[in-house]
Amino acid sequence: DAFDYPRRGAESRMTKDETMVKSADKDSEDSKKRPAVTPITSEGDMPQKKFYRQRAHCNPLSHNDAFDYPRTPQDMDWTQEHYPEPPPGNSLQPTVLDIGCGFGGLTVALATLLPKETILGMEIRAKVTEYVRLRIVASRKENPGSFQNCSVMRTNSMKFLPHYFRPHSLSKIFFCFPDPHFKRKNHGRRIVSERLLSEYAHFLKIGGRLYCITDVKELHDWHVEKCNAHPLFRKLNDEQVLKEDPCVHAMSVETEESKKVDRNKGSKHYAVYERIDDSEAPALDAESFFD
């Protein structure tokens, strides 16, 4: 032939395969020379928040398949990872939830504020959850015998609560500075809604309390509207009752978001609701069901 075209086929493929093998060998040699990666925080040391920053909010509806969870609450062993040395007399299962716990300020504070309760912070972001876990481990190390009644779990609370908790097993649920999801099309992502309030009522004991706090007035109005409309929740308006509840003050000052609001001289809006007995709920019929 007048022209010597490059050959394609077996020889060309062989050359490519040989190149890949050489590249793999080189990567293997480099990995042996490379020093082992040192963890950002050693187990038992207090973590530094700057290494665990993550985007403040995420879409909970896009994480449906990213989590392991038990088939039923009976399949969950809380002592294995969360409460290996529970205080005598405390429940071996969580009784207080800090949903969307962030960097764990309230979760850790509640451990000493409510020593007879078992606290669980729930967070959807992986890096933030790891920060809280290390923070609790370090607190236990620095204060032997303390903070054994608190833990943290990475999960999607909008999806998987029924897999973890039995009916009427919780005494308190906190929602502190949740994502406002300002756009109307995203209101379905809000952590307080008609559907989710029925779940929370299912898990709360009679007389249990639901706490909401935010620095966004529009979101506070949403919380009040949805909770007021739910037949199994009654708003606590008595200032003396609220003053005597130490959790009201704690959620206003212990979370990282509340401290940021204080630094920016912003305002905080909160509401507390009590789970009432089913017999106290207003009767519904076909005409009033959707009112």
**How far is residue 268's CA from residue 101's CA, in Å, rounded to a whole number?**
17
Do strands 119-123 and 96-99 pair parallel, antiparallel, or not at all (unpaired)?
Answer: parallel
Q: From the candidates 65, 179, 238, 291, which is the catalytic residue?
A: 179
Do strands 170-176 and 96-99 pair parallel, antiparallel, or not at all (unpaired)?
Answer: parallel
Q: Is 179 a catalytic residue?
A: yes
The two tokens of residue 137 are 């481990």
**How far is residue 291's CA from residue 20's CA, in Å, rounded to a whole number?**
68
Q: List own/partner pairs for 221-226 with CB under 8 A and 24 or more apart.
A: 222/187, 222/190, 222/192, 223/175, 223/192, 223/271, 224/271, 226/192, 226/193, 226/194, 226/197
Residues tagged active-site: 179
